[in-house]
Structure 1
Amino acid sequence: MRKITLIIAIVFIWMSNTNAQSKRLLFKTAFGEFKVVLYDFTPNHRDLMLKSIKDSVYQGALFNRIIENFVVQGGEHDIDIEKKEAADPQHRKPRLAAEFDQRAFHKMGALGAGRDGNPEKASFLNQIYFVVGKKVSSAELDGLEIKKGIKYGKEQREEYLLRGGQPRLDQDFTVFGEIYQGLDVILKISRSKTDQQDFPLEKVPFSIVEIKE
């Protein structure tokens, strides 16, 4: 009975958090569609995503790095970004400053921004990923708190222990949204066959539209 009560409480909290946010997106893929909410408490990443959609950055884009039980990554690939920046005579490396918030963490279905190894942990402008993590134990969370010097709150612990995720990425990569409908679609995509560099053997295109309600 206590377990059922706990699950109901977690679902209620999750629904309250997602319903409070103002911007939502629809991702269209050959595997199906899924819906994403953008967090208002990571406003710069939210606004960049909305601008990118209007600029058609993600129309006909690809999920081009797929690792089962880890992430499904799309948009510009690290290799292409490196080549473009290396060819720039002004040596520009545009990034978006990190936005870390206790409410934004790497739960299953979390939407994050990719980045390189820059010390500021700033995000690439046109690369996103979805968490398709794995089960997490209380001991793992305890160890990560010590290793990373962070503290997981009650909601985070309950979510990770109930559904899993990738907590080792917390406070290193910006999370700015999450899937609230159609998580099964991204899980199907995560099981796509890939080569040794994690490129899917068959292209996985996607497009995004803003949901107007």
Structure 2
Amino acid sequence: MKLLQTTLLICALILSSCKTEKQEIKTEIAPKKDSIKPAPKPKKQIVEKVIKPWDSLNHNNATAFLKEFGKQNKETKVLIKTKFGNIKLRLFNETPLHRASFIFLTKIGYFNTTVFHRIARDMAIQGGESDGQESTNIRNKYQNYRVPSEILKHKKHRYGALALARELDYNPNKKSNPFNFYIISNKTGAPHLDGDYTVFGEVISGYSTIRKISKVKTGRSDWPIVDIPMKIEVIK
């Protein structure tokens, strides 16, 4: 009897051991479906390159900035709107820095804060100044940068020529003042200015507007008695 009990106990231990081993093996090779999840794919790193071209122009990097801006902004036509009518201009690709600068200032709305401030009778109408603080703030923001001379012999101060003014003193390289432009209003042109100022565009249409502006009454420093504000936009 004692031998039979011992034999039954050994069998029970063997069966118990086999059952446990079988369960462990099953757990290892056949886990529940929801117990294993694929590793999450790493999220793509999004790198946004923020470019602030309007804020990066300054006195020191003007040439490099305008070259790059000109590559990205190839428009050559602008429209000046005044209470006397419109003036359409074409800018020359042969003067790339001046073209780029004028397009830049037009796109940031600088000229919209200014007026035609000087009527040089029998010669030119000049714009880009203002009594307001807004235009001064914009010039200061970009450190009153200057544009290197791009004077070309075949670009003359003919009737309808567009050019930039410049400082006469301490300016041996004849750099242009980008904030101050003029349009020749004399039908015979202004040949005495050739070689001293960069001509970078011409009038396509709006000569009647130019004539009307050239006849307004002026006061001190040829400033019109009644302001002539302008709006300039890029059209192509």
Deviation at 1:211, TM superposition (A): 1.1
Matching of residue 191 in structure 1 with residue 215 in structure 2: yes
Match of 2:62 in 1: none
Match of 1:34 in 2: 87
Q: What does 1:51-70 align with in structure 2 at a 5 Å threshold? A: 51-70=104-123
What amino acid is aligned across from residue 72 of structure 1 in structure 2?
A: I
What amino acid is aligned across from residue 63 of structure 1 in structure 2?
A: F
Normalising to structure 2: TM-score of the pair? 0.60
Q: 1:93 and 1:31 mapped to 2: Cα distance?
A: 30
Q: 1:106 and 1:113 mapped to 2: Cα distance?
A: 11
Match of 2:234 in 1: 210
Deviation at 1:93, TM superposition (A): 6.0
Deviation at 1:185, TM superposition (A): 0.6
What amino acid is aligned across from residue 75 of structure 1 in structure 2?
A: G
The counterpart of 2:160, out of the listed 96, 109, 128, is 109
What amino acid is aligned across from residue 64 of structure 1 in structure 2?
A: H
Query: What SS does the corresponding residue of 1:63 show, helix, strand or coil?
Result: strand
Match of 1:160 in 2: none
Q: What is the number of equivalent residue pairs in this alignment?
A: 153
CA offsets, 1:180-213, max 9 Å, x none?
111111111011100131010000011111113x
Deviation at 1:22, TM superposition (A): 5.9
Runs of 4+ in structure 1 off by over 4 angstroms are none
Q: Give yes or no for contact 2:124–2:185 (8 Å, CA) kept in 1.
A: yes
CA offsets, 1:118-165, max 9 Å, x none?
2211101211001112xxxxxxxxxxxxxxxxxxxxxxxxxxxxx410
Query: What SS does the corresponding residue of 2:221 show, helix, strand or coil?
Result: coil
Match of 1:200 in 2: 224
Q: Which blocks of at least 5 consecutive residues in structure 2 are unaligned?
A: 1-73
Q: 1:131 and 1:23 mapped to 2: Cα distance?
A: 19
Deviation at 1:55, TM superposition (A): 1.1
Match of 1:47 in 2: 100
Match of 1:170 in 2: 194
What amino acid is aligned across from residue 122 of structure 2 in structure 1?
A: N
Q: Give yes or no for contact 2:129–2:179 (8 Å, CA) kept in 1.
A: yes
Q: 1:30 and 1:98 mapped to 2: Cα distance?
A: 32
Higher relative contact order (Cα pairs below 8 Å, separated by 6+ residues): 1
Normalising to structure 1: TM-score of the pair? 0.67
Deviation at 1:76, TM superposition (A): 2.9
Query: What SS does the corresponding residue of 2:230 show, helix, strand or coil?
Result: strand
CA offsets, 1:36-66, max 9 Å, x none?
0000100000000001111111114200011
Q: Which blocks of at least 5 consecutive residues in structure 1 are unaligned?
A: 1-20, 134-162
Query: What SS does the corresponding residue of 1:129 show, helix, strand or coil?
Result: strand
Q: 1:38 and 1:169 mapped to 2: Cα distance?
A: 19
Match of 1:140 in 2: none
Q: Give yes or no for contact 1:22–1:40 (8 Å, CA) kept in 2.
A: no
What amino acid is aligned across from residue 175 of structure 1 in structure 2?
A: V
Q: 2:89 and 2:177 mapped to 1: Cα distance?
A: 20
Match of 2:175 in 1: 122
Q: What does 1:124-163 align with in structure 2 at a 5 Å threshold? A: 124-133=177-186, 163=187
Matching of residue 97 in structure 1 with residue 152 in structure 2: no
The percentage of aligned residue pairs carrying the same residue is 35
Change (3 A) 1:102 1:59: same
Q: Give yes or no for contact 2:107–2:234 (8 Å, CA) kept in 1.
A: no
